[in-house]
Structure 1
Amino acid sequence: MQNDVGELGDFLDSGAFWVAGEIVTLAAIVVAMVTKDLRLALITLSVVPGLFIFIVLWQKRARQFFISVRRAISAVNSALQENISGVRVIQSLSREDVNSNRFEQLNRAHLQANLRSARMSAAMNPLVELLVATATALIIFYGGRSVLQGTLLVGILVGFMLYIQQFFDPVRMLTMEYAQLQRAMASGSRVFELLDVQPEVPESPTPISLPNVSGEITFDHVSFSYEPGLEVLHDINLRVSPGETVALVGPTGTGKSTIVNLIARFYDVTEGRILLDGHDLMDIDLTAYRRRLGLVLQDPFLFSGSIRENIRYGNLDAADEQIIATARTVGAHDFITRLDGGYEYVLHERGQNLSMGQRQLISFARALLANPSILLLDEATANVDSYSEYVLQQALERLLKGRTAVVIAHRLSTIRNANRIVVLDNGRIAEQGRHDDLLAKGGISSRLYEMTHAPVTGTAK
């Protein structure tokens, strides 16, 4: 997409002005020829329809070739970015040669697409030269006869010979710019294809703004499918009270992350409705709602920049004292001050120069500083060691205090601290209740607990 925008920019910066200037020059020469001798002017212009016919036929194939070039360079850039991002996986699986060969194939495809495009562009110039020669021959033939018959002055004939050269100079330039225009149009079609994509979550024409959010969330007969006919959630009925922490548990693929995505309104429900404080989520101002929402993911995303900037990301007006106090609250202050530069320590892409636990603590601080009314946590303590989990659990307790929270978790410590556990199975709520009560029932939750923790207990014995 960046290359497409650059192609459009290059044409608008220079090509568009050249085209306007050449058209004016061309019109002036035509007027001069018609004024001097209408018959010779018509003879000169008789070759122009052939040029237009060629251009109409040429552009149909040329645009396809130019689009193929844009797609080829897009594939090259995508593969390059993917290989750089996944370099550790590639090295660990000894895939360097395979990936290098695939990248070479993409580069060759890009080369071939450029060669086809270049050949198509080069076909324009020989045609223009052929038209120049044809027009010159016609003028010499008919004009020479008229001079011999005494009906035309030699000076006018010589003048028309010069006019032909001046007439076709702009034509040469316009054909070159036309090829550039086709490239720009190919890029423009890809850009507008992206711009024409409608958002999956449209704003309400009359959105409701909630000045205060207590955090009551209600799923009212909610069903959802990512693809038509493939339902992921089936008739979900669930009420989360203000300030309540609800843990979602269940096997992989049962819809836990989907519920979190629906609450964040990354998608809209297929059937039923989700209510926030009694209002349909689809009727609430989306931007204002998400300002009251905090989201902490299993793999926290940190931005390139200082730690201070990352913590302040959701609350740009926060003072330095608030940032430090928030970091202390979640237990991140101590390790931040040990870094070179402290809060000004510059993070690499996605915060790769910090450990997973440190990145997660910063994401907790970022969420807390934004002061959300509702917190959504997707396996926030899944990928950390025991000590980091202990630190994160303490931070989590402070983060959840007084807030409505929906937590996806498999860690026993997180599940036990929840006010209620909702067990999902095949997109439906199988059971819900407190941890000890669910274990006593001997249902799905009990079986999941035994599969996760019983082997560890047996080994310890």
Structure 2
Amino acid sequence: MSEDYTKEVLSRKNVFKRLIGYTQNHKSALALAFTMLILATAADVLGPILAKVFIDDYLTPRNFDWQPLTLLAGGFVMLYAISVVLHYFQLISFQKIALKIIQKLRVDVFGKVQHLGLKFFDQTPGGSLVSRITNDTEAIKDLYVSVLSTFVQSIIFLIGIFVGMFFLDVKLAALCLVILPVIFILMQAYRLLSSKIYRVSREKLSQLNAKLNESLQGMNMIQAMRQEGRLKSEFAVINQQHNTSIMRSIRLNSLMLRPAVTVLYLIVLIIILSFFGIKSFGGPIEIGVLYAFVSYLDRFFEPVNSMMFQLTRFQQAIVSAERVFGLLDDERMAPVKEDNHYPQINEGMVEFRDVTFSYDGKTDVLKNISFTAKPGETVALVGHTGSGKSSIINLLMRFYSVERGEIRIDGAPLKTFDDTELRKRIGLVLQDSFLFVGDVKENIRLSNFDMTDQEVAAAATFVQADPFIQKLPGKYDEPIGERGATMSSGQRQLLSFARTMAINPKVLVLDEATASVDTETEENIQAALKKMRKGRTTIAIAHRLSTIQDADQILVMHQGEIVERGTHQELLGEGGLYHKMFVLQQGEKELEKVINE
């Protein structure tokens, strides 16, 4: 046995053990379900024995005493009725437990995703995550709902059948035990052959979801750039690969499931009939025993067939569980508090001390960044694309951990702050604002459930959002679709401003926050920003230099370093990179006008 195979088996064992671990909170319900299952199985097993008694003791000797026959018939009907009722309730119990388990598993997976760091999302396609949370958990649900219940019922039923066989004839029952290792070998062979097929199948399904998600997210660009044909071809290739893996599983199932079990059934049936045929040469045989054995044989291979067919779902569930548990075990978590102290942000002074950072651990995107933003000051970050501006904000928001150097707020290390304190005291407005499904009021309030409608309206009024909200049919109750698709980019940005101001932050972080609004709206927002910055530390990324001319400090970024710093006038006077950027945006005449002023 190879080392890789051993690791794979151990991995599957651990996965199955974890899946079974989810049943720990349902011990009482499981015990009741098992009790009903055992009683129902006992009723099923006793049926052929009663039939044997009727054939050998009454039908063959033509003894038709109506009283015992009535008792036999009543007992047979009663056993059948008990079996039906108990099977119904135990099946409902098993399925109810299974649905509760999968409900918890889905919540666990979704909750884990909420706490993963941005590093994880940078490296994982969104469609693949959707596939794990939906398709893979659905496959695991089949394990609990169908596979485990079928295996448990079948195994208990098989045990009951062998008990009945040994009661009828010990020698023949012992001979029939030979088929158990044959069935086990058949199941193992199928499991080993199918595991690789299903792993490929789940992976291709994940890739299909990822490609679909990418296409839906970028549909406007796809149509604008006439990429429909290319995307369709790429999707068709992945779809064909998925189809190929499914066909391989169908061929395997067609060969190793019912045909193989049917051949085994015929062999055992020949053995039983031959046994009774040979036995008949030495004397009479009991027809009732023969009938009971053949009946048990039919009933024996029914659960075997059920288990073989459920192996397909079992393999799919184990592969899916490997992917789901891989997500649950992922260690790329969002940075969290690392200290027992609980500092608070009262002033909002931000300090970067020799901060160096890399996303991949190889290439530094920030190199020895040091600056201080005092309370009430506005620090602007400017520079070409890829210069490291957004990385500074990502570190300040603690979306990523600081690897070298240190960030402090009000003198306390950033890593010592509780998440709640950081999110309440630092307000973030991105260039591409994100709105949630709901209504206008909910998107401004978000998690501030104690915020009154008047406070919501006050926040919207403060950022000049109230006028356009009042024009909406539902005003503050106007429904908002996915990502706010029915609103203009400017309206989305204004709502983003409003919900930021609703938390009354001490530190304001702006990532080109006015880029998505028209000139008139920008003037209103700039006026609002001027009020917002009073008493707050503001760190703003700006591409349009005209929006940050009144900043207390401007940091010019280039290739991850601060190459220039100063006020607007000071940097223009130096004639460096900032000067060149301003000339490119405003022109020589505007530069001369600013210098003369």
Normalising by the residue count of structure 2, what TM-score does the alignment of the two structures yield? 0.73
Correspondence 1:79-228 to 2 at 5 A: 79-122=211-254, 123-150=256-283, 153-204=286-337, 206-228=339-361
Change (3 A) 1:211 1:427: closer
Deviations 1:85-124 (A, max 9, x none): 3222122122223323333333333322222223333321
Q: Structure 1 residues 149 and 456 mapped into 2: Cα distance closer, same or farther (>3 Å)? A: farther
Counterpart Cα distance in 2 of 1:10 and 1:58: 19
Distance 2:509 2:274 in 1: 85
Match of 2:540 in 1: 407
Answer whether contact 1:364 1:399 (CA < 8 A) is retained.
Answer: no
Q: Post-superposition shift, 1:386?
A: 2.1
CA, structure 1 residues 303+201, in 2 after alignment: closer, same or farther (shift >3 Å)?
Answer: closer
CA contact (8 A) 1:43 1:135 kept: no
What amino acid does structure 1 have at the position aligned with 2:270?
A
Is it true that 1:64 corresponds to 2:181 in the alignment?
Answer: no
For residues 472 and 340 of structure 2, what CA distance do their matches in structure 1 show? 45
Choose 237-246 or 15-24, whichever is displaced more. Answer: 15-24
Amino acid across the alignment from 2:229: D
Runs of at least 5 residues in structure 2 that lack an aligned partner in the other structure? 1-131
Q: What percentage of aligned pairs have identical amino acids?
A: 37
| Pairwise CA distance, 1:408 | 0.4
Q: Which position in structure 1 is the counterpart of 2:63?
A: none
- Determine helix, strand or coil for the equivalent of 2:359: strand
CA contact (8 A) 1:43 1:139 kept: no
1:193 and 1:49 map into 2 onto residues whose CA distance is 33
Match of 1:48 in 2: 180
159-168 or 143-152, larger mean C-alpha shift:
143-152
Matches within 5 A, 1:10-409: 10-122=142-254, 123-150=256-283, 153-204=286-337, 206-409=339-542
User: For the residues of structure 2 that align with 1:200 and 1:448, how far apart are their CA atoms?
Assistant: 38
- In the TM superposition, residue 140 of structure 1 has moved relative to its aligned partner by 2.2
Structure 1 residues 455 and 298, CA, compared in 2 at 3 Å: closer, same or farther? farther
Residues 121 and 291 of structure 1: CA distance in aligned 2, closer, same or farther (over 3 Å): farther
Q: Aligned with 1:272: secondary structure?
A: strand
Name the SS for the 2:303 alignment partner: helix
SS of residue in 2 equivalent to 1:8? helix
C-alpha displacement at 1:439, in angstroms? 1.0
Is 95-104 or 217-226 further displaced after alignment?
95-104
Aligned residue identity for 2:359: Y
Q: CA deviation at 1:384?
A: 3.2
Contact 2:357 2:365 in 1 (8 A): yes
Q: Which moved more, 1:330-339 or 1:45-54?
A: 45-54
**Structure-2 separation of matches of 1:210 and 1:404:** 18
Alpha-carbon distance change, 58 to 213 in structure 1, aligned in 2, over 3 angstroms: farther
Please state how far the C-alpha of 1:33 moved relative to its aligned partner. 1.6
**In structure 2, how many angstroms separate the alpha carbons of the residues matched to 1:221 and 1:148?**
98
| Per-residue deviation, 1:233 | 0.9
1:326 CA drift (Å): 1.0
- The separation in 2 between residues aligned to 1:360 and 1:395, in whole angstroms, is 13
- State the AA in 2 paired with 1:299: D
Q: Distance in 2 between matches of 1:296 and 1:316?
A: 20
Shift of 1:417: 2.4
Give the number of the structure whose residues are more often helix, by fraction: 2
Which whole-Å deviations, capped at 9, do the CAs of 1:30-72 have from their partners, x for residues lacking one?
1222233232122212122122122222212312222222222
Aligned letter for 1:119? R
User: Counterpart of 1:401 in 2: which secondary structure?
Assistant: coil
The answer to whether 1:448 aligns with 2:584 is no
* Correspondence for 2:113: none
Matched, 1:7 2:144: no
1:267 shift after superposition:
0.3
Aligned residue pair count: 459
Segment drifting more, 23-32 vs 282-291: 282-291
Equivalent residues of 1:420, 1:433 under 8 A apart: yes
Taking a change above 3 Å as real, the CA distance of residues 47 and 405 of structure 1, as seen in their structure-2 partners, is same
State the Cα deviation string for residues 134-180 of structure 1 (Å, max 9, x = none): 11122222342233234964543443222211211111111222222
Flag the 1:450–1:205 CA change in 2: closer, same or farther, 3 A. closer
Aligned to 2:39: none
**8 Å CA contact retained: 1:314, 1:369:** no
The answer to whether the Cα contact below 8 Å between 2:344 and 2:417 also exists between their aligned partners in 1 is no
Q: Which deviates the most, 54-63 or 228-237? A: 54-63
What do residues 356-393 of structure 1 show as CA deviations (whole Å, max 9, x unaligned)? Answer: 21111110001000222212111112233322322221
How far did residue 420 of structure 1 move?
0.8
Contact 2:342–2:416 (CA<8 Å) still a contact in 1?
A: no
Conservation of the 8 A alpha-carbon contact between 1:314 and 1:367: no
| SS across alignment from 1:227 | coil
CA-based RMSD: 2.2
1:216, 1:239 within 8 Å by CA — same for their partners in 2?
Answer: yes
1:259 Cα shift? 0.4
Report the TM-score, using the length of structure 1 for normalisation.
0.93
- Paired with 2:465 and 2:235, the residues of 1 have a C-alpha distance of 42
How many Å separate the matches in 1 of 2:151 and 2:459? 59
Q: Does the CA-based 8 Å contact 1:330-1:398 persist in structure 2?
A: no
**1:218·1:275 contact (CA, 8 Å) conserved in 2?**
yes
Distance in 2 of aligned mates of 1:288 and 1:54: 59
1:78 and 1:457 map into 2 onto residues whose CA distance is 48
Q: Is 350-359 or 391-400 further displaced after alignment?
A: 391-400
Q: CA deviation at 1:199?
A: 3.3
1:1-52 CA-partner distances (Å, limit 9, x unpaired) = 2111122223323433333222211111112222332321222121221221
> What's the secondary structure of 1:13's corresponding residue?
helix
Q: Deviations over 1:226-247 (max 9, x none)?
A: 1122111111122221222110
